[in-house]
Structure 1
Amino acid sequence: MMMNERKAIDLAQGWELMQKGITKLKNILEGLSEPQFSSEDYMMIYTTVYNMCMQKPPHDYSQQLYDKSRESFKEYVTSMVLPSLREKHDEFMLRELVKRWANHKVMIRWFSKSFYFLDFYFIPRKSLPSLNQVGLTCFRKLVYQELNAKVRDAVISLGEQIDRVLLKNVLDIFIEIGMGEIDYYENDFEAAMLKDTAVYYSRKASNWIIDDSYPDYLLKECLKREKDRVSHYLHSSSKPKLLEVGIPFVMLTQFSKMLLNNEDSGCHALLRDDKVEDLSSMFRICSEIHQGLDPMSSIFKQHVTAEGIALVKQAEEAASNKKVFMRKVIELHDKYLAYVNDCFQNHILFHKALMEAFEVFCNKGVAGSSSAELFATFCDNILKRGGIEKLSDEAIEETLEKVVKLLAYIGDKDLFAEFYRKKLARRLLFNKSANDDHESSMLTKLKQQYGSQFTSKMERMVTDLTLASENHTSFEEYLSNDPNANPGIDLTVTVLTTGFWPSYNYFDLNLPAEMIKCVEVFRDFYQTKTKHRKLTWIYSMGTSNLIGKFEPKTMELIVTTYQASALLLFNSSDRLSYSEIITQLNLTDDDVVRLLHSLSCAKYKILNKEPSMKTISSTDHFEFNSNFTKKMRRIKIPLPPVEEKKKVIEDVDKDRRYAIDALIVRIMKSQKVLGHQKLVTKCVEQLGGTFKPDVKYIKERIEDLIARDYLERDKDNPNIFWYLA
């Protein structure tokens, strides 16, 4: 039995059916009276397309249907869409475009749905553009390319005068026409819009400059306007560009002179006049702009630097100002740190500006005193009993906290540590600390901020004093248990550990007989505790209480060991020459001049000098002033301290040399081989937290290590070093 084959649908017959559907679609799109498509309508067209594509050659009409679909798009756009758009202008043209674009997308969806089999079967097999792409390309080539400039100009010129929904719909066409890319939006619309925006704000800026006022509210309105434009109808990618060419164009070009540098209302003026609210407002505006905070933070840095340098200059001009310099620096930092935290919302740019400003003038030093010395002296005045800073316990803690933070700006932190250690030693040894808790608190603050290595020696000094106190108690017990071990006078010895304390000049002073017995007794006691440690006596740090029997009355004299040794010479001699005194004491000329000056030329003249001039000479003679008298029963005769600044700097330089040598060896030991520049860079980076090393000095240390066979140069490249194990 034979089956009847289905009769093939020819192209004319099939397309006539398709054409009826297309005509109906056009009538619907044009608003003519036409019933909507039913499911049966779609199914009939779909089935016909399917059959025409699945027929055997030569009746497979897939390519013909594809071509006719493309022609249908073109014919409709040419005959209906373009004429309707060409006859309209401005807002009417925009509304017509939105309508025609929406209709065109409906047509694309209809073809994609009705001719689905083409998209599913024929188009992928032939690697052809989909019907959706064909429809979009047709509109882009015939409508968009002809009208995009006209549309762009209409949008820019009418802008805020028409409703935002229409604007958004129009601009969506620029985006959708790119089929997933925003190139058409950027090139055909955005570029011109940004240029127009810049011109618009340029005109506004000119008016603001003429008015010579600070248009805070105007700038806020402009920023709000641009943000609204982006949120309501512009593409989100336009926001940073808009803010960069719009408000920044005003602020950072034409308007920057008035906004930032105007004598009466610019950033300089606001800082000068402490206009906190205006500064906050300016910051908020500039923060909305790409790189808008850069010039403002730069001005802030210049202003703070200038104020700091002015403080340095004031301190240079008057000695009294030097004493309050640190207090003023703290007040300056408090003021502008509050600006950074409040006005500038804790922004990192302004923290950096504040840091760089303080680094400039905090490292200048004042009247021959380095910043490291000034910081250490300021701390000493706070922590020692009778210092010039009279503060409550709470205020002391707060001030010390601020000093530690300010230390971050100083390059030579190791120099500060050495000055601080020297002054701490004097406070500890002479019982000058006002409060032990504050001393410990300061060391804790320094340790937390700069590490345990920074404070290790200082902490051991404090521990040493505790051990020394226990040692003194043991000595008193030793004396009470052995009647033969009586030194003859009251004796207190503070035993310190070498290495923790600052180095002191040691001289083998010829002690008076009264003191020799004391030394011998304590030495015998100390040998009962340990036989492996050697005592070195630092007489320059000692004090003595003497009874002076003057004819008017007897007085107690508080003097140094050097002064006491000199005065006790007059128990056995009425008159002594300078040369006799220096010979008997075995001290240097400088020390003898200082102590004789303090006893014969200063406030308390315990000795009479011949001739009676205010300076000490090697030809002078001295006698005990038996007529000396004062109202007090007890007086302290100060001995001017030796200028230790040079010694401190020398000690720090020596420590730096050791630190650089050790670091270079440590780096090279781990790397084995390293280039010159990398080695220097690593040294600068790793030492930067303690001090800023001179690159030339690092090179000198490298040369010295080469000479000592720790390193060697590469034979082929002298700028490469090898570590020698």
Structure 2
Amino acid sequence: MSKIEKFWLHGCELESGRMAMNERKTIDLEQGWEFMQKGITKLKNILEGLPEPQFSSEDYMMLYTTIYNMCTQKPPHDYSQQLYDKYRESFEEYITSTVLPSLREKHDEFMLRELVKRWTNHKIMVRWLSRFFHYLDRYFIARRSLPPLNEVGLACFRDLVYQELKPKVRSAVISLIDQEREGEQIDRALLKNVLDIFVEIGMGQMDHYENDFEADMLKDTAAYYSRKASNWILEDSCPDYMLKAEECLKREKDRVSNYLHSSSEPKLLEKVQHELLSVYATQLLEKEHSGCHALLRDDKVDDLSRMFRLFSKIPRGLDPVSQIFKQHVTAEGTALVKQAEDAASNKKAEKKDVVGLQEQVFVRKVIELHDKYIAYVNECFQNHTLFHKALKEAFEIFCNKGVAGSSSAELLATFCDNILKKGGSEKLSDEAIEETLEKAKFSNKGPSNCRKKLARRLLFDKSANDDHERCILTKLKQQCGGQFTSKMDGMVTDLTLAKDNQVGFEEYLRNNPQANPGIDLTVTVLTTGFWPSYKTFDLNLPPEMVKCVELFREFYQTKTKHRKLTWMYSLGTCNIIGKFDPKTIELIVTTYQASALLLFNTSDRLSYSEIMTQLNLTDDDVVRLLHSLSCAKYKILNKEPNTKTISPTDYFEFNDKFTDKMRRIKIPLPPVDEKKKVIEDVDKDRRYAIDASIVRIMKSRKVLGHQQLVMECVEQLGRMFKPDFKAIKKRIEDLITRDYLERDKDNPNLFRYLA
């Protein structure tokens, strides 16, 4: 209400107050209503555009005052109820005589324009009549709890005009929307005004808009896009279809912003998405030459991004997309495995290092494949967890396949080892090494492989850079958890402590000159639990070495008396001087080889059995070390008979004629096929991990069913490896026999934790 309107009302009340003080004359109903009807007729004429002067302040004041006087007269002349009824009748009469006939004679868009005009006029009429009858609102209606004047006026239009015309209006609006969908130009402002009537007629509620218009509009939308989709799916390629679908969704959102109510947007888009995408999802994704497989094959990143945007909007729409992505990556990875297998089989006759190079190439290609598709996940698929999971599972599938007799975890560990060790074939900058190690961590699921490679680098001083070692351990810890890397962390710590021990030992020798064995001895003390298990034999050391061992044991007991030293001679190396007739050569050999060679300082000729007895080694170890000394590249010993294989009937002599162009040579032992042992170690590690997981779960839960225990165990261990259900069941049985768990007497599928 404007300031001048407030002034008029105030003036009216003042006037009425003066009239009351002067004992005003009683106004009867007919006389008063006749005066009011003149004002109402004038208002109608103005609304109809007939020549009529505007209301003056005096006109307005007199109309208001008349109502005021007729409502404040003493009974039986208080006409509040009669005026309230006549207020409503004024609207009904105007609508029946003028509004409805003008609407009934028009159709389609013309009818809509007339409706908008009539609704606008009606709201003006309600506003003005409500001012004339304002006193009723303030007192009579408030006391009787009746519908206010504004509501009564709008209800008249709703009951007489809206209820009759809503089917025609709805049909006309939906027809215009369909015309626009077909590319025709329509009057959007008109539709906005018409649809505002559906909203406003609800007087604060959305029931009329939703039930009388929206429901039918949504049905028509579904039918329209169903017809379109049935044609497009046959005619268009997947990318073309998706372009159309995305454009349709954009236009429907545009319609909401221009004339539909905002509450319609999610419902409208859901209908469009259902008809265009949900109904034809399988058919669209599996189109032979343009579906999801083809888009991945042809690297159509824009189309894949569009596919993600569209299918992310429908319920479980991304599930089939991620499955196709997983299948595609699995197929590409499997092809790499087959390619590597074929290359390896073609190289079997060639040198081992050539085959090893092929395996390194395979790992490189696997890393490149992961690079490519992790970029798809991050960019095309917006870093969605479903696609991260699909990529991980795809790599697990083909990485579990063997290549040239090696598991992928083993190859990956070898690849990282090649980068990290001194003299590796990978000559990279520090930044490139960091980046490559980051990429190479994605499928490293073999703890024993990693530990064995790390152990060899640390024990034999093959590690190129301690920072890189710590870097790869950090990355593995982030991916697989601290449980995975705790032993390897311990290995690195052990080496640091071992250096301190060695410094202490050298200080001990300097302080005790009489104890000096005359041989340079370096001992690396390791903690048993951190390192891979190695074969231990009670090797009969030569006297020179025995003195060294005893000396170090005495030193170590000065530091601690609570630890037992177990000597791993299989890991030791020795530098010995070979005095041959042509020249003296320094030989770098293992402790086993050194022990065997030193036997020939006291004997010129020894049999296989004598060597075996004196060294106290197994047949396998004796065969390996004798083969390395008499049948391989460097023939330090002469063998009778002179064959390429070692047998228990052979005899050996020192070859004093041996020579070489080098002054210093390394004589390696033949490699041991450790794959079987690696598999056993992996299984052993996993058994321990499963046991620990089961005990942790049961300790916290106390009582748990079999199925739930298995599922929680799988979830806990998922970051390290995917445990087999049978393996878990076997470990549960083992823990029962070891009194960690017990079965419930009444329910054999229920377990209890035994503290």
The CA distance in 2 between the partners of 1:722 and 1:148, in whole Å, is: 69
Q: State the distance in 1 between where 2:482 and 2:698 align.
A: 25
1:239 corresponds to 2:269: no
1:198·1:245 contact (CA, 8 Å) conserved in 2?
Answer: yes
Q: 1:361 is matched with which residue?
A: 398
CA distance in 1, matches of 2:392, 2:65: 78
Alignment of 1:205-224 (within 5 A): 205=229, 206=231, 209-210=234-235, 212=237, 214-215=239-240, 221-224=247-250
Q: Find the partner of 2:205 among 181, 187, 194.
A: 181
The one-letter amino acid of 2:196's match is D
User: What pairs with 1:7-86 in structure 2 (closer than 5 Å)?
Assistant: 9-55=27-73, 58-86=76-104
User: Residue 163 of structure 1 is aligned with which of 183, 187, 197?
Assistant: 187
Q: Does 2:528 correspond to 1:502?
A: no
The aligned counterpart of 1:340 is 377
Q: What's the TM-score, normalizing by structure 1?
A: 0.87
Structure 1 residues 534 and 703: CA distance shift in structure 2, 3 A: closer
- Residues 455 and 491, structure 2, Cα contact 8 Å, conserved in 1: yes
Q: Provide Cα deviations, 1:492-538, integer angstroms capped at 9, x if missing partner.
A: 22222332322222110111233223223333333344443332211
Among 140, 150, 165, the alignment partner of 1:132 is 150
- 1:333-386 alpha-carbon deviations (Å, 9 max, x no partner): 212223333444545554444344334434445455444333322211111123
Distance, in Å, in 2 between the alignment partners of 1:306 and 1:43 is 88
SS in 2 for 1:386: coil
Compare 567-576 and 658-667 and name the one that shifted more.
658-667
Corresponding position: 1:112 with 2:99: no
Change (3 A) 1:368 1:551: same
Match of 1:576 in 2: 606
CA distance in 2, matches of 1:682, 1:652: 21
In structure 1, the residue matched to 2:334 is 309
Match for residue 300 of structure 1? 325
Structure 2 SS opposite 1:484: helix
Pick aligned residue for 1:274 from 280, 286, 299 = 299
Taking a change above 3 Å as real, the CA distance of residues 353 and 148 of structure 1, as seen in their structure-2 partners, is farther
Cα distance in 1 for partners of 2:394, 2:139 equals: 72
C-alpha deviations, 1:299-357, integer Å up to 9, x for none? 43332232223223333444344332321121112122233334445455544443443
Pick aligned residue for 1:469 from 479, 499, 509: 499
Q: How does 1:481-520 map to 2 (within 5 A)?
A: 481-520=511-550
Is 2:703 the partner of 1:683? no
CA contact (8 A) 1:372 1:419 kept: yes
**1:397 aligns to what?**
434
> Relative to structure 1, is the Cα distance of residues 722 and 437 closer, same or farther in structure 2, using a 3 angstrom cutoff?
closer
- 1:603-642 to structure 2, matched below 5 A, reads 603-642=633-672
- CA deviations on 1:424-469 (whole Å, 9 max, x unpaired) are 1111111111223322332343345555554343233233323333
Q: Is the 8 A contact 1:222 1:247 kept in 2?
A: no
CA distance in 1, matches of 2:402, 2:205: 61
Range 375-384 or range 589-598, more displaced: 589-598
Paired residues of 1:108 and 1:132 also in contact (CA < 8 A): yes
TM-score, length-normalised on structure 2?
Answer: 0.84
Write out aligned runs for 1:699-714 (5 A).
699-713=729-743
Amino acid at match of 2:272: G
1:458 to 474, 478, 488: 488
Deviations 1:39-70 (A, max 9, x none): 44444444443444455555444433333333
Matched residue, 1:562: 592
Structure 1 stretch 301-310 or stretch 450-459: which is displaced more?
Answer: 450-459
Q: Cα–Cα, structure 1 residues 272 and 509, in superposed 2: closer, same or farther, change >3 Å?
A: same
State the shift of 1:95 in Å: 0.6
> Is the 8 Å Cα contact of residues 240 and 290 (structure 1) preserved in structure 2?
no
1:554 deviates by 3.8
Taking every aligned residue pair, what percent have the same amino acid on both sides?
Answer: 78
Checking the alignment, whether the CA contact within 8 Å between 2:641 and 2:650 is kept in structure 1 is yes
- Whether 1:532 and 2:562 are equivalent positions in the alignment is yes
Per the alignment, residue 87 of structure 1 pairs with: 105
CA contact (8 A) 1:244 1:290 kept: no
After superposition, where does 1:243-258 map in structure 2 within 5 Å?
A: 243-246=269-272, 249-253=275-279, 257=283
Structure 2 residue 464 is the aligned partner of structure 1 residue 446: no
Q: Which residue does the alignment assign to 2:363? A: 326
Q: What is the RMSD of the two structures over their aligned residues, measured on CA atoms? A: 3.4
Match of 1:600 in 2: 630
Following superposition, the deviation at residue 87 of structure 1 comes to 0.9
Aligned letter for 2:562? Answer: H
CA distance in 2, matches of 1:460, 1:589: 34
* 1:468 to 1:713, Cα distance in 2 relative to 1, 3 A: closer
Instruction: Write out per-residue CA displacement over residues 517-570 of structure 1, whole angstroms, 9 at most, x where no aligned residue.
Output: 322333333334444333221111011223334445443322211122223333
Letter in 1 for 2:419: I
| Greater displacement, 122-131 / 484-493 | 122-131
Equivalent residues of 1:464, 1:497 under 8 A apart? yes
Matched, 1:151 2:188: no
3-state DSSP of counterpart to 1:246: helix
Q: What is the rounded CA distance, in whole Å, between the counterparts of 1:533 and 1:456 in structure 2?
A: 21
2:58 and 2:392 map into 1 onto residues whose CA distance is: 79
Alignment CA distance shift 1:721-1:115 (3 Å): farther
Query: Aligned in 2, Cα 1:203/1:663: closer, same or farther, shift over 3 Å?
Result: closer
Distance 1:238 1:361, change over 3 A: farther
Could you tell me whether the CA contact under 8 Å between 2:481 and 2:719 is conserved in 1?
no
Structure 2 residue identity aligned to 1:590: D
| Runs of 5+ unmatched residues, structure 1 | none
